[in-house]
Structure 1
Amino acid sequence: MPTPRTLLLTGAAGGMGTLMRGLLPRYGYALRLLDLVPIPDEPDAITADLADRGALREAVRGVDAVLHLAGISLEAPFEQILRANIEGTYNLYEAARAEGVRRIVFASSNHAVGFTPLPVGGEPLIPVDTPHRPDTYYGLSKAFGEDLASLYWDRHGIETVSVRIGSCFPEPTTVRMLSIWLSPADAARLFHAALTAEHVGHTVVYGSSANTRLRWDLSPARALGYEPRDDSEPYAAQLIAARGETAPDDPDRTLLGGRFCTDPPMRQH
């Protein structure tokens, strides 16, 4: 599939959206930006809520594809998750259907399957077809988004790659992140592959770099043409020295969603 010319980037003011604003244009994308809040130095960006169906119709009109990063990216009260992540994602898909957009890349999360037990010793790697086991309302909304994408492929022919993102930061900041870190450069590579791969239907992939401590199977992402180049291991010694090794019974060591499964953190993945 040729590179889409115009790409709607939702959540463009957020952490990952800001990173992708800087990285994706080098792949040939002309970005149309949307966020709930104004974006500094981007006067043409669209400021709109995902509840505003009219604004979403205008935002998707004429674009070739959508990278959907918008919504609440942490645990929150169910009413907030429902409005932003569940109803908001539905509104986006309805706008895309109405305007004839045929490709969406949906930012799912490892928390859609967070209660999946981690394999002892790191093997076998967790497959992408592991059943949904959300660890939070946030994770539940990502499981919903994946199923919504499946519905819109089967019923309306809109192709989606749902990317179960680990933690996308310039560098890992916790010991848990050593296994699920997605470098910003690899995130751009993965999104580009997801936007340009042929015949994806609805495909679910895990999103991380090629980490030495990898816990899940990246082969479905590689099948799209994703070639990760980064690894969290150069950060490991310093992080472990500062924070210590994770205890054997710590949720970060036993469950894919880590402490989201027991005491949901409100800041980082």
Structure 2
Amino acid sequence: MPDQRVLITGSAGVVGTLMRPRLRREGRVLRLLDLADQPAAEDGEAVEIMTGSVTDPDAMAAACAGADALIHLGGLSREASWDATLDVNINGTHTVLEAAREAGIRRVVLASSNHAVGFRRNDEAGESGHPADSSPRPDTYYGVSKAAIEALGSLYASRFDMDVIVIRIGSCFETPLPLGPRGLATWLSPDDGARLFEACLSAPSPGYRLIWGVSDNTRRVYSLAEAEALGYKSHDNAEVYADQLAGQPGPTGAAAEHLGGPFCTAPLGVFNPL
């Protein structure tokens, strides 16, 4: 059986770096695309390292050639100017999807964010949490770009009969500690992240799906039903870190009331490390 070749854009970023060792499989080649330097393949590691930008049609055409599936993580991962956000996140995603379509890639996974719905209130979650397909309420230019990515994914799935799964990622780090108490609700553990991506890659004929990317945290306000319908099963819970965050101040005011947290009050168009 031929190898499955999975293209990952933004593979040198936080999520891409965490997924690289976790998405290794017998019979799978990971094609890793980023502008940043990446570690060379380790002994026995089936990877193809490529350097290029998601905004470059030629680079994306070369990256997509011969790939069976695409995980699109590339782009600006925090708030930035409108021009930069438009160029990299929105136009870049269009470039990526066009290259995937022309290369005949049928399975695409797009990374969205909780910030696409950042101005939805935490207390409106309901018993099962906010539905994964809650309509956009972005909190920043970054959030607007993620809402646009979701819409582009829907367009390509409907018009070109591609299977496109969009993941509204909460926060994927080794631990939830960098985000403070808010991370106890938003965390997607790296291992759960790999389980989620595997479900997205293997679910039969999903069409267009919008799902949350979080672990089964005690404090989550996000529905997992949509991801579980694709075969995802979370094994982790951020609550195991609660004692380490005890006494740390959480967000207040609008940042405490909304899914987007501090993004809801941060200046528009200005990089922030939150």
Q: TM-score normalised by the shorter chain: which range applies?
A: over 0.9
Decide which of 206, 216, 227 is 2:212's aligned counterpart: 206
**1:50 touches 1:56 (CA, 8 Å); kept in 2?**
yes
User: Who is 2:111 aligned against?
Assistant: 107
Structure 1 residue aligned with 2:263, among 235, 260, 265?
260
Give the C-alpha shift of residue 214 in structure 1: 1.1
Residues 44 and 225 of structure 1: CA distance in aligned 2, closer, same or farther (over 3 Å): closer
1:155 to 146, 159, 177: 159
| Structure 1 gap ranges (5+) | none
Are 1:225 and 2:228 matched, yes or no? no
Q: TM-score, normalised by structure 2?
A: 0.91
Q: CA RMSD in A?
A: 2.0
Q: What's the counterpart of residue 193 of structure 1?
A: 199
**Are 2:11 and 1:12 equivalent residues in the alignment?**
yes
TM-score, normalised relative to structure 1: 0.93
Contact 2:184 2:217 in 1 (8 A): yes
Instruction: Give secondary structure in 2 for the equivalent of 1:39.
Output: coil
Q: Counterpart in 1 of 2:30?
A: 31
User: Counterparts of 1:160 and 1:121 in 2: how far apart (Å)?
Assistant: 25
Residue aligning to 2:44? none
1:205 Cα deviation (Å)? 0.2
Q: Contact conserved, 1:3 with 1:195, CA < 8 A, in 2?
A: no
> Contact 1:4–1:195 (CA<8 Å) still a contact in 2?
no
Aligned residues: 264
Question: How far apart are residue 66 of structure 1 and its match?
Answer: 0.3
Give, as a single letter, the amino acid of the residue that structure 2 aligns with 1:93: L
Alignment-derived partner of residue 56 in structure 1: 60
- The reply to whether residue 75 of structure 1 matches residue 74 of structure 2 is no
How far, CA to CA, are the matches of 1:20 and 1:27 in structure 2? 15
- Using the TM superposition, give the Cα deviation of residue 216 of structure 1 relative to its aligned residue in structure 2, in angstroms: 0.9
Q: Which residue of 2 aligns with 1:234?
A: 240
**Which is worse superposed, 100-109 or 256-265?**
256-265
CA distance in 2, matches of 1:157, 1:136: 31
Q: Distance in 1 between matches of 2:272 and 2:231?
A: 33
Shift of the alpha carbon at 1:26?
Answer: 3.6
CA distance 1:121–1:136, shift in 2 (3 Å): closer
The answer to whether structure 1 residue 183 and structure 2 residue 189 are counterparts is yes
The residue number in structure 2 matching 1:167 is 171
Deviation at 1:61, TM superposition (A): 0.7
One-letter amino acid of the counterpart of residue 144, structure 1: A
